[in-house]
């Protein structure tokens, strides 16, 4: 018998790759944090000798979600200002508070709160953009989740840096002092076309090419962004970035709500990825992204919740449901973005867009054991004709019972194993008092 | 001291009427199933002597949700066929199974499953349209929830009746043999303009006027429905109903996805109510209802989940969130349908549309104690700057800890008190096997 660490026996396994597969009464074997095999229950029992056997008789096992666009620490600002236009929300509520309050402690507590929520919601890897990414990295390592962290660039002073030189200095220093590893992938994160100059974009392009780093930025989120760019640069933002040389397979374009036919071709030919954030786009009334067109053009399309300050949660189950429902409504076609495709967006496509699809995003031997078990025995998900339909259209986050990252059991029967929630809740409460102070 | 039955001490109370109120550290007093008072904690403690005192220190207390459009028993068909066009879904998957399988037992088990889910999701009253409404009524009374039940009319044979005469016979018999009471309100439920003849609509109009019964029907759900009506009657469905005399304050028009300016005026002047079902409309790609216009015209606008066979859940928290997000996206205005308004839609406006706003829908002395407590202490709803924003944009159904209907504690700390779930789950499993058989 082959010695391994864990053998998991769920009711169903959905490996995501290959697409369309539903494995009934199979087992998943883990050794040294990686998936060793998926095989029928009896074969697993005779082949493997596991240190622990985990029975999940009512559960479906899927790859962990890749939340492809977050601002994790902003979770501390969840619900502080809702039902407002984007610029009023930013200018009058978010930015003044960030300027006054964001420091390393804010990022540590906010990121911990976000990771607590994400693990409880089945996210095993997130692609983040926020200040003090070094603090986020330390937090990610402490807790044991996985993240792609953006080194932030903005063309004005923020809590991270005060001049273009300082952004480059701090970010390149970080790249050297905290090298990437199995849990942390570094990306470059220029905030948006309207907040980053051509000079800065050019240097970011050089850095990206030199270090083979992906570039994570907000792009074509609102019509106002496009209009402002036309005024200032006589170009739409995508055209401007293309001219600077940034539209290639290292680009991660978040939102792309507005995308005409030529731009669709540019995106498809470039190999760039898109991150769709439907709830954020609806809440801020940014518009509806042309999801059917992205899929038809075979563009890599990932899914993100955006930050909890605007969204107001980090729940990929809810985001998949919204994406699947909205794409049908927008296209006027109920066959667009099936449950199957929504699950792929939230897993393997997310991994692909951030460049980690060779190691995560599906349940395949050799990949990290980043796993989520969802209990479908609740009234809300009974009966079960198809577990994938139940995941997308009926299950909710509290049915996620167990989560593993690299084979480590970070959520065990709804309990976080590497986060002390009562102590964290106290820190969150302290921050709430500070952040509630009048501006 | 005034003797009462229960005194509840939540962290916040949102009475919904008057609008905008958030009562911090207040108590709600219940006697004989009705709300006696809402008052500051100390006043309550000195004024009332309660048989039970209930502390809910992390919870927000709100009126129970009124789910204004359901097909409860169809919950047994949840997820049996997804990502399909409406007519293919109906003709090839739903109707053949209904014809073969729907009987009193199907309706009893399906309605129990639906009510189990609804209570766990905070719904205390639902407006239903399905076959065997007598069985649904008996189930509602057994469990103790509240419902408006539609007496179904369709112009072809169904499991309920085979001829127009039989529909009228069975439905009028039911009205007399099972009179309405505090838990059951009868409505007339002609299925839709495309499935009910002019003759039948005329007789339904007479019955509605004679017995003062509301009329609950699908209306202007799809463009195809409107086109078919133009072909067949040279009128859009609303115009046809108006000519028959059905467009008045007894009309409950479900969906109204398609509504031109003249129709908006007709609806506003008639006093008719509209039930918005955003998730169903998205999933079936029916279009986007003009919610901003309905609100601007001061039309009574309620919220419904539609049946779980198409939706695929009966979760009003999710439906409120979708409604609030989608209305902003469709109107291109992030200030449309605020969290406050979404909560009103799901409570007092639902009660108004089904004609029960004098007895339920808000937390006001004299009304039934139909209450929902939501625990906001989970990481996903921390911090709390505004409990209403948390309910609409961040909370999920499993944070609903307690539900009362008419002062009766039907969900106590997540446990259903009047439904034996393990036994019901067995019956659901049996039905799943039958319904899975090839057609």
Query: Taking the model in full, what pTM does it have?
Result: 0.97
Residues of chain B with pLDDT under 50: none
Residue B439: what pLDDT? Answer: 82
Contacts of B80 in chain A (CB under 8 A): 385
Superfamily of domain B2-63+371-405 in CATH is Urease, subunit C, domain 1 (2.30.40.10)
Q: Which of A107, A80, A157, A103 is nearest to A439 (CA)?
A: A80
Whole-angstrom CA distances from A69 to A306, A361, A410, B146, B278 are 5, 15, 21, 42, 26
Give the Cα separation of A350 and A347 in Å (integer).
5
Selecting from B79, B121, B284 the residue whose C-beta is nearest the C-beta of A334 gives B284
Asked if the Cβ–Cβ distance from A282 to B78 is below 8 Å, we say no
Q: DSSP string covering A282-315, please?
A: HHTT-----HHHHHHTT-EEEE----HHHH----
Instruction: Domain ranges for chain A, please list them.
Output: 2-63+371-405, 65-353
Instruction: Tell me the two tokens of residue A38.
Output: 């998926």
- Quote the minimal CA–CA distance from B170 to chain A in Å: 31
Write out the two tokens for A92: 């009058």
pLDDT of residue B371: 98
- Residues of B whose CB is below 8 A from A398: 396-399
CB distance B398–A398 less than 8 Å? yes
The size of the A-B interface in CB pairs under 8 A is 209
Decide if A295 contacts A61 (C-beta within 8 A). Answer: no
Nearest to B282 among A313, A325, A386 (CB): A325
- Residue located via tokens 């009660």: B351
Are A312 and B393 inside 8 Å of each other by CB? yes
CB contact under 8 A, B283 and A318: no
Q: CA-to-CA distance for A402 and A416, rounded, in angstroms?
A: 9
* CB-based contact A379 B117, cutoff 8 Å: yes
DSSP E strand stretches across B119-225: 123-129, 146-153, 184-190, 215-219
Closest-approach residue (CA) in chain B for A376: B425
Q: Which residues of chain B lie closer than 8 angstroms to A86, CB-CB?
A: 334
- Which of A288, A386, A399 is closest, CB to CB, to B329? A288
CB-based contact B390 A79, cutoff 8 Å: yes
Confidence (pLDDT) at A122: 98
Distance between CA atoms of residues A407 and A36, nearest Å: 11
Cβ–Cβ under 8 Å, residues A151 and A188: yes
Which residues of chain A make contact with B287, given a CB cutoff of 8 A?
A: 329, 332
Which of B22, B382, B387, B400 has the most A C-beta neighbours within 10 Å, making it the best mutation to test the interface with A?
A: B382
pLDDT of residue A87: 82
Task: Please tell me the predicted confidence (pLDDT) of residue A85.
Answer: 83
**Alpha-carbon span A81 to A74, nearest angstrom:** 12
The ranges of chain A with pLDDT < 70 are none
A197 CA: distance to closest CA in chain B (Å)? 28
Q: CA torsion, points B320, B323, B329, B330, in degrees to nearest 10?
A: -170
Test A384 with B432 for CB contact under 8 angstroms.
Answer: yes
DSSP single-letter state for residue A317: H
In degrees rounded to 5, what are phi and psi of residue B163? -140, 160
ipTM of the complex: 0.96
CA nearest to B432 within chain A: A383
From chain A, pick out residues whose CB is under 8 angstroms from the CB of B393. Answer: 79, 82, 283, 311-313
Q: What is the pLDDT of residues A314-354, one digit of tens each?
A: 999 999 999 999 999 999 999 999 999 999 999 999 999 99
Q: Is the dihedral of CA A12, A14, A18, A21 positive or negative?
A: positive
- Residue of A380, A384, A422 to mutate, interface with B, max B Cβ within 10 Å: A380
Question: Cβ separation of A287 and B329 shorter than 8 Å?
Answer: yes
Task: Among B285, B288, B316, B414, pick the best mutation site for testing chain A contact (most A Cβ within 10 A).
Answer: B285
A312, A333, A385 ranked by CB distance to B79: nearest: A385
Multiple choice CATH, A65-353, 3.30.1330.40, 3.40.50.300, 3.90.1150.10, 3.20.20.140: 3.20.20.140
Which residues on chain B are in Cβ contact (under 8 Å) with A76? 383
Contact A383, A103 (CB under 8 A): no
> Which of A79, A120, A284 lies at the smallest CB-CB distance from B334?
A284
Q: How far apart are CA B413 and CA B402, in angstroms?
A: 5
Smallest Cβ–Cβ distance between A383 and the set B380, B382, B431 belongs to B431
Q: Which of A321, A421, A432 sits opposite B383 (nearest CB)?
A: A432
Query: Of the candidates A175, A182, A86, A190, which has an alpha carbon nearest to the alpha carbon of residue A129?
Result: A190
Distance CA A262, CA A252 (A): 18
Chain A hits for B315, CB-CB cut-off 8 Å, are 380, 396
The closest alpha carbon to A167, from A188, A146, A138, belongs to A188
**Whats the size of chain A, residue-wise?**
439
Instruction: Tell me which DSSP letter residue B368 carries.
Output: B
Q: Compute the CA torsion angle A345, A347, A352, A357 (nearest 10 deg).
A: -160
Q: Which residues pair with B403 in a beta bridge?
A: B372, B411
CA gap B203, B151 in Å, rounded = 13
């Amino acid at each position: 018998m082959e010695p391994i660490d864990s053998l998991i026996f769920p009711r169903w396994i959905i490996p995501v790759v290959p697409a369309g597969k539903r494995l009934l009464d199979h087992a998943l074997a883990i050794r040294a944090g990686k998936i060793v095999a998926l095989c029928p229950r009896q074969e697993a029992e005779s082949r493997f000798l596991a240190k622990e056997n985990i029975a999940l008789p009512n559960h479906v096992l899927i790859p962990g979600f890749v939340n492809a666009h977050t601002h994790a620490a902003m979770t501390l600002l969840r619900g502080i200002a809702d039902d407002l236009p984007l610029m009023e929300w930013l200018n009058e509520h978010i930015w003044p508070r960030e300027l006054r309050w964001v420091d390393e402690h804010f990022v540590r507590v906010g990121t911990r709160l976000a990771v607590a929520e994400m693990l409880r919601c089945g996210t095993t890897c997130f692609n983040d953009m926020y200040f003090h990414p070094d603090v986020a990295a330390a937090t990610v390592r402490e807790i044991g989740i996985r993240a792609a962290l953006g080194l932030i660039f903005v063309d004005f002073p923020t809590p991270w840096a005060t001049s273009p030189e300082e952004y480059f200095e701090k970010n390149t220093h970080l790249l050297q002092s905290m090298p990437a590893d199995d849990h942390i992938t570094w990306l470059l994160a220029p905030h948006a076309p309207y907040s980053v100059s051509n000079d800065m974009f050019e240097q970011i392009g050089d850095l990206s090419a030199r270090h083979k780093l992906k570039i994570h930025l907000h792009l074509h989120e609102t019509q106002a962004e496009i209009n402002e760019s036309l005024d200032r640069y006589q170009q739409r933002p995508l055209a401007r970035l293309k001219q600077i040389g940034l539209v290639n397979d290292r680009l991660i374009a978040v939102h792309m709500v507005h995308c005409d036919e030529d731009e669709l071709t540019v995106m498809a030919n470039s190999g760039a990825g898109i991150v769709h954030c439907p709830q954020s786009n609806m809440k801020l009334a940014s518009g509806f992204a042309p999801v059917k067109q992205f899929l038809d053009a075979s563009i890599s399309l990932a899914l993100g919740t955006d930050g909890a300050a605007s969204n107001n949660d980090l729940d990929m189950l809810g985001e998949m449901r919204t994406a699947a429902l909205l794409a049908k409504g927008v296209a006027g076609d109920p066959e667009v973005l099936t449950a199957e495709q929504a699950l792929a967006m939230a897993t393997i496509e997310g991994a692909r867009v951030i460049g980690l699809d060779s190691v995560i995003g599906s349940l395949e031997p050799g990949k990290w054991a980043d796993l989520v078990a969802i209990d479908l025995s609740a009234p809300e998900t009974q009966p079960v004709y198809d577990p994938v339909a139940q995941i997308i259209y009926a299950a909710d986050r509290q049915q996620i019972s167990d989560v593993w990252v690299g084979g480590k059991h970070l959520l065990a029967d709804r309990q976080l194993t590497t986060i002390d929630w009562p102590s964290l809740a106290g820190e969150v409460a302290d921050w709430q008092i500070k952040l509630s102070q009048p501006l």
